[in-house]
Structure 1
Amino acid sequence: MTGPAQVGGLGGAGRHAPAAGPVHTGRLRRWAAEVGLGARLALTGGREGLLRTALTAIGVGLGVAVLLLSVSVPAMLDARSSRTAARDDDRYGSDKITPGDTTVLTLNISTSYRGRSVRGRLVRPDGAHPVLPPGVRSLPAPGTMLVSPALRDLLASGDGALLRDRMPGTVGGTIGKAGLSGPNELVYYAVRSDLAFGQPQVQRIDGYGSRSPHEPLDPFLLMLVIVIFVVLLMPVAMFVAAATRFGSEQRDRRLAAVRLVGADGGMTRRIAAGEAVVSATLGLLVGGVIFLVCRPFVEFFEIAQLSVYGTDLRPPLPLLALLIVSVPLAALAMSLVALRRVVVEPLGVVRRATARTHRRLWWRLLTPLAGGALLAPLAGSHGEFNLWQAVGGVSLVLLGVALLLPWVFDRVVGRLGAGGGLSWQMAVRRLQLSGGSSVRAVGAIAVAAAGTIALQMLFSAADAAYTKDARLDPAQAQAFTVVEVSALATATDGAALDAKLRTGGVTSVSTFRRDAAHFGEDGYVTMWVGDCAVLRELAELDRCADGDVFVLDQPDLAGQTVIMGDSGPDVERPHAEWTVPATARPAKALPGPYGEPTGVLVTTGAAPPAEPSPTFVSYVHLAPGDEDAPERLLNAAMAISPTMDVTIRRAQVRDSTFASIRRGLFAGSAVTLLLVGLSLLVGTLEQLRERRRTLAALVAFGARRSTMGWSILWQTLVPVVLGLLLAAALGLGLGALLLATVDVPFHADVSGIAIVCGIAAGVVLLVTTASLPALWRLMRPDGLRFE
């Protein structure tokens, strides 16, 4: 009984202070003591008090851990960008670099394997002390290669069997962390002694590191990034605020007991503030521990082809300090705001009465209207917007969802009748008496759903702009290869290329020579040389015989004399002249890998002699249904020449930056959805624990367990349905404003909205199912015990 004695003493001491100065000092001391009493009650308030504090700390801790992860994203991206920039070896003007003891010849031989990028480099040092890429201590021995740990593991597994045939050597060592963007990146370096400057795509470098300026994001993509961050972080922040109010009913009953021994209203608020700050502070510690414990394990996961090192997750100190200060302050504010709606008297808590105070609507509408007012001037700006204005507008509209939901809940639930089954009646009555905790838990879902609906509308609009339909024709080739013959190539003519490209899964190959020619002062023409069967891959030919010549898009070329090969002041070799026959016939070009070909089609009987280093293009038809046919084709191409370019035609081609942002959204959505589900589960368990004696009493009087389970489901489902309806309305409005900002016509993604609502409903069902074991346990007869 030490606590009540202290309460009475503190209350009496404050009322009998003798002088103004001592009164002020005594008041501060008394307030500090009262706050300290609340802190002690949170830590020493018996099993129930400790359980409530633990639930609050866990709830706040989960949110804090996600917030720490979120604020670490910029540092994570900077770390990845710094490592990739430090190893960059793309050099323009490399012909001006003089060979020396430290210079290196390098050839980019990057490829892909079953949808994953594989970064590869062939190098040859010019001297004894070559510059080394980050993460590499010394160049590998001939016949071996340095690989990333992820590539080493892939090559050693059964899944990497096809990729092993493409590698230029055996594994001779691993690349360090400094040379990799992430732990799951596939990278390798190998030495090739026959590299020479002047060979196709071979560059000379004197150091590693990016020298090109960073290109800013496209305005549309920048808007996507802004909305994604706001949408993902707001539900987390709301959950943290809601977690600080776990067990509020038990706290109010305890405060009523404190009033009974002499405390006034101000003292109860200060006691509640101390309890809330302690719980939030413990939540900060729990969140920090969760973050530190889980951080090393992120290296074992890859979400949407994104992998990071644990050490990359470093919250910036300013944001970390802001988080440490804001969470306890938010807990304090939420506690005081909650007490304003509750009258704690010595004999009970007035909130438990049936009378309800009608919430006012006008000030709740101001928030989304203010957000719309911020976003409206940005309409038609084509992305030339103020960043903070866009963030503020999106945040206010989403915050309006959380503010309007309690008003909508009161209006709808208050009018629900007493009809329906027993489980429905119990759920409605519970929601009418104390549905605030349910609304707070669902608020995060509603905000996430509204933001996701707006994002779905943006992504639907972006798909048209950043995704191109390849318009594949089954009769056309599914793959194309281009290679310039050099000392690196094992095939020097079309027949040899055809033979080497005919691997498993390849049904036919059409190879033709591509020559460059010039005429007049600035005229340029491409010449395609092959037999008639091959040339029919490029154009519609009415008839064809060896010796024929066809003009695709320039009929005035007939009779023109052209100069074969490249021309310019740096070209020293002589060039042959060739005259396009006056009998050349026009032909209609067919779509190819880079659009419709242009220039002149020449059969082999009429073609001029080939250049010393001719370029060959092959159209490759792949067997339908053979998923590994593209991989075997890439293996064959690497065996022909490491400089051979292979293009596999896809049904759709997406912009790489847009695809990266989309993958980032999926990764963030997965984390947010997990947190929302956990928040609902913790909130449901906390409500069940508060009502354990009531539940046990109902079962003792004959209520069925199934009836109680359905009642819990209705209590969770009704707020979720109301929240989703409100989220759909404001989400559509926010999406319309955002589309107007980037000057895109309004389009409602009905299927996307349905998917979002379905996922939210699925989360509710999973949470209800997960809470059933606790419900069965709380309904046992020993739940009637009271301490």
Structure 2
Amino acid sequence: MTSTVSRPVARDSWLRDFALGLRLAVGGGRTSWARLALGTVGIGLAATVLLLFASVGTITTGVNGRLAARAANSTVISGVSPTQVLQSSTSFKTLSIDGSYLHGTGPHSPVPPGLAALPGPAEIVLSPALARLIAENPELRQRFPQRVVGEIGDAGLRGPADLVFYAGTGPLPVAGGPGLSTVVTAYSFGRPGASGLGDPTLLIVTVISSVALLIPIFIFVSVSSRIAGAQRDRRLAALRLVGAGDRQVRRIAAAESLVAAAFGLLLGTLVFLGLRQLAPRFELLGWSFFTSDVVPSVPLTVLVVLLVPVLTVGTVLFALRRVIIEPLGVVRGGKPVRRRAWWRLALIVGGIALLLAARSMPADGWLIAQVTIGASALLIGVPAIVPWLLERSVDRIHGGAPSWQLAIRRLQLDSGTPARVVSGVAVVLASAIAMQLMLLSTAIQYTTPDSSDNWVTVYSTAASASRVSDALAAVPAAKHVYPVASIAAFAGSLTYDVTVAPCATITLVLHVDHCVDGQGFLAGSAAQSAPRPGDTWRLAAAGYGVGASQTLGSFTVPSLPTVTQPVARGAGPYIVDGVVLTPALATGLPLERHTETWVDTDPAVPDATDRIATAVAPLTWQAFVSYSTSDVVNAGQSSFATVRAALLTGSVFTLFLAGISMLVLTLEQVRERRRPLAMLAAAGVPRSVLARSLLWQTAVPVVLGVVVAVGVGIAIAGLVIRLTGQALRIDWPTIGIFAAVAVALVLLVTACSLPFLRAATRLAALRTE
């Protein structure tokens, strides 16, 4: 009978305690409202970031799904008249524009997603972003001489800012277009998309940095839930005075913190929904997203909804574990239990051991998981070791100026809260340093050396080569034009070329003393000897696309003078070892040739490449313009640039969040200590001394955190780069910039706290009731 009655009584007691906590949170006057507002904003900001992180999976799935849906599938389907697809690209003022030329072989040929029907010859369909770009830049319209017949729907776009076109054309050659373009016979559109970043180094960098960016978010939630902790403890002491038990006051404190968590989650959700609606209007790092893409994963959303309140309540209860709340006051006396180092060092040692156990760059999921877990353990070890190091460091500091002594004494009394806030900064710095060093050490495989030369290459079909030369003659930026036509030649295991070029090109490349039209040469190099007269070669068209495997005839090497190609070759036209003929001597070759026209541009003319691309635009797919000395952006380089910029942006944002945490902590400490500060000011301590004490109080943990961050960041980068077989390159200027940012945060936080310090040190702060 007793147990039956006690359960409803206990349940009612819990409900009353929680109800009282809710009333104290929202009905305590302006002070409670200010505390609730600060906690709500802090937790709401963190919840917004967590919901954005929870949406990354659906964003990636949506983008990859649309990219896979528009990919041409050449798997033969019986009874289907395929669509010929020739991919093409161009650039305009550093913007990349991708597209495809389509030719349907039947009335019901497959149509790419986003199109109602295949465009006919001389017709084009543009993405909305490309249509707007053309409207804003009339000179770009000349690149697309076709008649615009519509816009591409969302299903055919990577994102709302995608610059894409589909142009109709006549039958396409099987051998493909100029350059490295090949014609794909598509029986359908859509194939499984590739997942991930492909390169395990980029994947590891992304995972490690994501972990590092999330840790300060959780720290910020913890700091926000402990705002005005001293005032809360005094209210709980008042409750103890009217008869509340020790467990009751902890339940009341938990309920009070739940209010801030609930309002924070609500605010974070509203801010997230607002940002979600604005997603199509912004382009981030070259990527854009539809509103439908930005949807948090359901499991991760549930995790966020549960994690934020649990973390908030757990932080409050953890803060009260060594606080004795008595009816006559709050007792914080007694020497705090010294922090233990073994489990903190175990995280760091375990992370290093996992990274050392990997012998090479991982190629499968298990090894990638091993490396990422090891690096993440090192990063998690940063917020674990910084409080211990700070506690041990300040215990050994004695003497100094009054402002220094005030700061050190405060840190000796309570080093945990400043260390937790600084740990967020240290984690961001460690991850940013490790990220930059890893990307710097592996960047050589994603970039090509820049050149001061101004060469542009126009790839064209043989039939349009003369039209390319005529078009370039009307471009003032094209100072010199050097056409080169090539035919692949196979002599057993050796590969040569039959090259047709005018004397101007031959003289420039082979450095011959005399050349006239009708002359030829046998060109060799240090890597391969010159061909021998009388040999018979098998010829193939241009060496590009499907035609490279088709034998188009034979060629007997004539007796010609031999020329050795220069060992050092600069930028500009390039001739492969083999037979080099002038146009007059090549008139008897009944073969189609792909032509490369090398253009030496005038650096004084702006947008020379854009002008050249506009000049050859009427040739549509038959001419392709490319920089010969610029970076060639492939999928790996695009991922590299995206990852680097994204993580830099995330690091800057999280540093900003950590700065807000430090500011909130400093202001809260000024508010809690306003009576001691006012007494010091009344006793004659200058305000400048108190201001410097706040500066040292923030600077000491930050300097210690920066030292730990630099060490951990270099260690992570060195252990991961070791797996790639490349040397670690330490960029000290970048590390110095990150450290300077942390110092700037300290100065900024101190400057923002000065007005509150001035108000706290007035004599009116000594008044009491």
Indicate whether the TM-score tops 0.5: yes
327-336 or 742-751, larger mean C-alpha shift: 742-751
Relative to structure 1, is the Cα distance of residues 292 and 705 closer, same or farther in structure 2, using a 3 angstrom cutoff? farther
Question: Which of 433, 436, 439 is matched with 1:456 structurally?
Answer: 436
Deviations 1:263-320 (A, max 9, x none): 3332222222222233222222221111112212232222221222232111111111
Give the distance between the partners of 1:485 and 1:218, measured in 2 at CA. Answer: 38
Deviation at 1:622, TM superposition (A): 1.8
Question: Does the CA contact (< 8 Å) of 1:517 and 1:524 recur in 2?
Answer: yes
Give the distance between the partners of 2:220 and 2:247, measured in 1 at CA. Answer: 27
Question: Which of 442, 462, 476 is matched with 1:504 structurally?
Answer: 476
Give the distance between the partners of 2:738 and 2:649, measured in 1 at CA. Answer: 16
TM-score, L = length of structure 1? 0.86
Question: Does the CA contact (< 8 Å) of 1:480 and 1:646 recur in 2?
Answer: yes
Question: Which of 387, 402, 411 is matched with 2:383 structurally?
Answer: 402
Deviations 1:342-397 (A, max 9, x none): 2222232233x595543333333222223223333224454554344334323322
Deviation at 1:658, TM superposition (A): 2.2
Matched to 2:449, the amino acid is D
Deviations 1:102-125 (A, max 9, x none): x54443232122222212233344
Deviations 1:199-248 (A, max 9, x none): 63444434322367668723322222221221222222222223222222
Structure 2 residue matching 1:412: 3-state secondary structure = helix
Aligned to 1:758: 740
Deviations 1:467-511 (A, max 9, x none): 3336x374xx6222221134xx4x537xx6165255232221111
Structure 2 residue matching 1:107: 3-state secondary structure = strand
Aligned to 1:366: 346
Structure 2 residue matching 1:165: 3-state secondary structure = helix
Question: Which of 22, 36, 60 is matched with 1:39 structurally?
Answer: 22
Q: Is the aligned partner of 1:219 residue 2:191?
A: no
Q: Is the aligned partner of 1:377 residue 2:357?
A: yes
Give the distance between the partners of 1:156 and 1:361, measured in 2 at CA. Answer: 64
Question: Does the CA contact (< 8 Å) of 1:64 and 1:288 recur in 2?
Answer: yes
192-201 or 712-721, larger mean C-alpha shift: 192-201
Give the distance between the partners of 2:534 and 2:98, measured in 1 at CA. Answer: 47
Aligned to 2:144: 167
The percent identity for this pair of structures is: 34
Q: Is the aligned partner of 1:235 residue 2:235?
A: no
Deviation at 1:757, TM superposition (A): 1.2
Question: Which of 648, 660, 667 is matched with 1:678 structurally?
Answer: 660
Deviations 1:416-445 (A, max 9, x none): 4453365x5554444444443322222211
Q: Is the aligned partner of 1:345 residue 2:345?
A: no
Aligned to 2:296: 315
Aligned to 2:32: 49
Aligned-pair Cα RMSD in Å:
3.6
Q: Is the aligned partner of 1:492 residue 2:466?
A: yes
Deviation at 1:138, TM superposition (A): 4.4
Give the distance between the partners of 2:445 and 2:102, measured in 1 at CA. Answer: 39
Structure 2 residue matching 1:514: 3-state secondary structure = strand
537-546 or 339-348, larger mean C-alpha shift: 537-546
Give the gaps of 5 or more residues in structure 2.
none
Matched to 2:311, the amino acid is A
Deviations 1:572-625 (A, max 9, x none): 997474432154444346356798723222233433534453222112112225
Relative to structure 1, is the Cα distance of residues 522 and 672 closer, same or farther in structure 2, using a 3 angstrom cutoff? same
Deviations 1:61-119 (A, max 9, x none): 11111111112111101101111111123x5588x99774xx54443232122222212
Matched to 2:390, the amino acid is F
Question: Does the CA contact (< 8 Å) of 2:480 and 2:600 recur in 1?
Answer: yes
Structure 2 residue matching 1:642: 3-state secondary structure = helix
Q: Is the aligned partner of 1:86 residue 2:69?
A: yes
106-115 or 77-86, larger mean C-alpha shift: 106-115
Aligned to 2:111: 132
Deviation at 1:628, TM superposition (A): 0.8
Give the distance between the partners of 1:108 and 1:606, measured in 2 at CA. Answer: 35
Give the gaps of 5 or more residues in structure 1.
1-17
Question: Does the CA contact (< 8 Å) of 2:197 and 2:639 recur in 1?
Answer: no
Give the distance between the partners of 1:293 and 1:703, measured in 2 at CA. Answer: 49
Q: Is the aligned partner of 1:735 residue 2:717?
A: yes
Question: Which of 161, 174, 182 is matched with 1:184 structurally?
Answer: 161
Question: Does the CA contact (< 8 Å) of 1:382 and 1:743 recur in 2?
Answer: no
Give the distance between the partners of 1:582 and 1:650, measured in 2 at CA. Answer: 32
Relative to structure 1, is the Cα distance of residues 453 and 517 closer, same or farther in structure 2, using a 3 angstrom cutoff? closer
Question: Does the CA contact (< 8 Å) of 1:379 and 1:743 recur in 2?
Answer: no
Aligned to 1:248: 229
Question: Does the CA contact (< 8 Å) of 1:63 and 1:236 recur in 2?
Answer: yes
Question: Which of 32, 37, 41 is matched with 1:58 structurally?
Answer: 41
Aligned to 1:663: 645
Question: Does the CA contact (< 8 Å) of 1:454 and 1:731 recur in 2?
Answer: yes
Matched to 1:348, the amino acid is G
Aligned to 1:114: 93
Aligned to 1:284: 265
Give the distance between the partners of 1:92 and 1:592, measured in 2 at CA. Answer: 37
Q: Is the aligned partner of 1:623 residue 2:602?
A: yes
Give the distance between the partners of 1:383 and 1:752, measured in 2 at CA. Answer: 30
Aligned to 1:445: 425
Aligned to 1:10: none
Matched to 1:261, the amino acid is V
Relative to structure 1, is the Cα distance of residues 394 and 33 closer, same or farther in structure 2, using a 3 angstrom cutoff? farther
Relative to structure 1, is the Cα distance of residues 698 and 615 closer, same or farther in structure 2, using a 3 angstrom cutoff? same
Structure 1 residue matching 2:466: 3-state secondary structure = coil
666-675 or 572-581, larger mean C-alpha shift: 572-581
Deviations 1:312-343 (A, max 9, x none): 11111111111211221222222222112322
Q: Is the aligned partner of 1:557 residue 2:532?
A: yes
Question: Does the CA contact (< 8 Å) of 1:538 and 1:597 recur in 2?
Answer: no
Aligned to 1:718: 700
Give the distance between the partners of 2:220 and 2:10, measured in 1 at CA. Answer: 35
Give the distance between the partners of 1:601 and 1:570, measured in 2 at CA. Answer: 19
Deviation at 1:44, TM superposition (A): 2.3
Deviation at 1:565, TM superposition (A): 4.8
Give the distance between the partners of 2:351 and 2:70, measured in 1 at CA. Answer: 44
Aligned to 1:11: none
Question: Which of 224, 246, 255 is matched with 1:265 structurally?
Answer: 246
Aligned to 2:496: 525
Relative to structure 1, is the Cα distance of residues 500 and 734 closer, same or farther in structure 2, using a 3 angstrom cutoff? closer
Q: Is the aligned partner of 1:151 residue 2:141?
A: no
Aligned to 1:13: none
Matched to 2:160, the amino acid is P
TM-score, L = length of structure 2? 0.87
Relative to structure 1, is the Cα distance of residues 143 and 651 closer, same or farther in structure 2, using a 3 angstrom cutoff? closer
